[in-house]
């Protein structure tokens, strides 16, 4: 029976894209007959305290020698000394959603020191799994051998076609994304104010506590732009509550500055919901079959124009919904993604 230890930077019960990917892949590998041990670290990553690093070192020291250990990059790149100490004893693989250096650049952090730290850590990796092709150019600075880097994109769950808002008055817009500085909520709100006369409501589903500063700025923007009656921030939702918001959505919107793949976009397409999103991650590929409109990151005018086109024409919405419905049948399942991950890990370890 193949086996591995999956090291997560915090509890796998969390609902950001990275944690969902880690959790679903662990479940998928188990379904393929793998023995998967999950090790959950203290949750202070990617900015661990000395105590968190000590705990991580003890956790890895407790893993049997020779075992395959897959470590989420939020932790891997933040503890170069810990992974270097174990590299000769364990088969270490980094699971990279978004390189820490790229996140530091987007968030205004110390990119130089983060790059140096992450680069040292990645030299200890037997291989690297990236969760979207958009991460590949972001890793080029580390000069990793191409044969050590494998792309395994997320899957999606099969879902029924969303019913939408029925009357289309107001049109229901949905954004599912953690409120942080990368996801572009403020830019989306500003673009919506440029749309002109149109009857719409926007629901933003996503954690309001992971980045308190950004959440406060978004709340201030809602007031400043006089959108209190049009925009709802629900916080993080799962299960039936999240499904109900997808089910009544007419259009999915995302103004993110960076995605590695675009899991929330894929989830919208799985329900036949047309999408307006920025050209990040795999969004352009996902929307290639006339399933939505793509605009350049940071182009408020283009985003407003796309919103105006879609909100102002039931014909365009119907055409994009038809494209989304075609796309949904081609989306990979999580089982397929787990099978690809299993093959990738075997190639890294035994290839």
On the question of pLDDT at 26 being above 90, the answer is: yes
Instruction: Give the residue with greater pLDDT, 198 vs 171.
Output: 171
What pLDDT is stored for residue 168 in this prediction?
64
CATH architecture classification, 3-155+332-350: 3-Layer(aba) Sandwich (3.40)
Are the C-beta atoms of 227 and 189 separated by less than 8 Å? yes
Least confident of 135-149, 155-169, 213-227, 301-315: 155-169
What pLDDT is stored for residue 76 in this prediction?
97
What pLDDT is stored for residue 185 in this prediction?
97
Dist CA 29 CA 27 (whole Å): 6
Q: In sequence order, what are the residues at sequence separation of 6 or more whose Cβ sits closer than 8 angstroms to the Cβ of residue 284?
A: 294
Work out the angle between the directed axes of helices 185-193 and 300-311 (0-180°, nearest 10).
60
Residue 105: pLDDT band (50, 70, 90) is: confident
Dist CA 276 CA 143 (whole Å): 35
Indicate the average pLDDT of the chain.
95
Residue 169: pLDDT band (50, 70, 90) is: confident
Closest alpha carbon to 7 in 66, 61, 85, 81: 61
Work out the angle between the directed axes of helices 334-350 and 17-31 (0-180°, nearest 10).
80
Instruction: Give the residue with greater pLDDT, 109 vs 67.
Output: 67
Are the C-beta atoms of 251 and 309 separated by less than 8 Å? no
What pLDDT is stored for residue 139 in this prediction?
95
Mean pLDDT calculated for residue range 270-299: 95
Are the C-beta atoms of 146 and 178 separated by less than 8 Å? no
DSSP H helical ranges for 123-184: 135-139
What pLDDT is stored for residue 111 in this prediction?
87
What pLDDT is stored for residue 198 in this prediction?
78
What pLDDT is stored for residue 272 in this prediction?
97
- Token pair for 108: 């205004």
Fold observed for domain 171-328: Rossmann fold (3.40.50)
Buried b (16+ CB within 10 A) or exposed e, 66-101: eebbbbbbbbbbbbbebbeebeeebbbbbbbbbbbb
On the question of pLDDT at 187 being above 80, the answer is: yes
Residue 44: pLDDT band (50, 70, 90) is: confident
What pLDDT is stored for residue 106 in this prediction?
78
CATH 3.40.50.2000 in the chain is located at 3-155+332-350, 171-328
Residue 108: pLDDT band (50, 70, 90) is: confident
On the question of pLDDT at 157 being above 70, the answer is: yes
Dist CA 250 CA 143 (whole Å): 44
Mean pLDDT calculated for residue range 18-30: 97
């Amino acid at each position: 029976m193949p086996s591995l230890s999956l090291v997560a930077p915090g509890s796998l019960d969390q609902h950001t894209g990275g944690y969902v990917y880690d959790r679903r892949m662990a479940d998928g590998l188990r379904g393929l007959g793998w023995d998967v041990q999950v090790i959950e670290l203290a949750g202070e990553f990617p900015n661990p305290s000395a105590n968190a690093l000590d705990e991580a070192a003890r956790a890895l020291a407790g893993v049997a020698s020779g075992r395959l250990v897959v470590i989420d990059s939020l932790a891997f790149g933040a503890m170069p000394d810990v992974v270097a100490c174990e590299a000769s004893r364990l088969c270490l693989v980094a699971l990279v959603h978004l390189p820490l250096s790229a996140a530091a650049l987007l968030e205004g952090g110390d990119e130089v020191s983060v790059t140096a730290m992450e680069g040292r850590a990645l030299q200890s990796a037997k291989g690297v799994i990236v969760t979207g092709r958009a991460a590949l150019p972001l890793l080029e600075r580390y000069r990793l051998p191409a044969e050590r880097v494998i792309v395994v994109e997320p899957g999606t769950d099969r879902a029924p076609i969303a019913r939408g808002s029925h009357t289309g008055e107001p049109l229901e817009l949905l954004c599912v994304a953690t409120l942080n500085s990368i996801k572009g909520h403020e830019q989306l709100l500003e673009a919506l104010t440029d749309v002109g006369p149109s009857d719409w409501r926007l629901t933003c589903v996503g954690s309001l506590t992971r980045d308190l500063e950004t959440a406060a700025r978004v709340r201030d923007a809602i007031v400043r732009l006089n959108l209190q009656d049009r925009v709802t921030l629900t916080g993080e939702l799962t299960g039936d509550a999240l499904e109900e918001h997808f089910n009544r959505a007419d259009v999915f919107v995302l103004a993110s500055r960076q995605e590695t793949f675009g899991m929330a976009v894929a989830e919208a397409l799985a329900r036949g919901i047309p999408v307006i999103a920025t050209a990040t991650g795999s969004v352009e590929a996902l929307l290639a079959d006339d399933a939505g409109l793509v605009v350049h990151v940071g182009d408020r005018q283009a985003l407003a124009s796309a919103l105006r086109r879609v909100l102002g024409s039931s014909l365009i919405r119907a055409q994009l919904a038809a494209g989304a419905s075609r796309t949904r049948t081609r989306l990979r399942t999580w089982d397929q993604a787990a099978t690809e991950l299993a093959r990738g890990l075997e190639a890294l370890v035994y290839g």
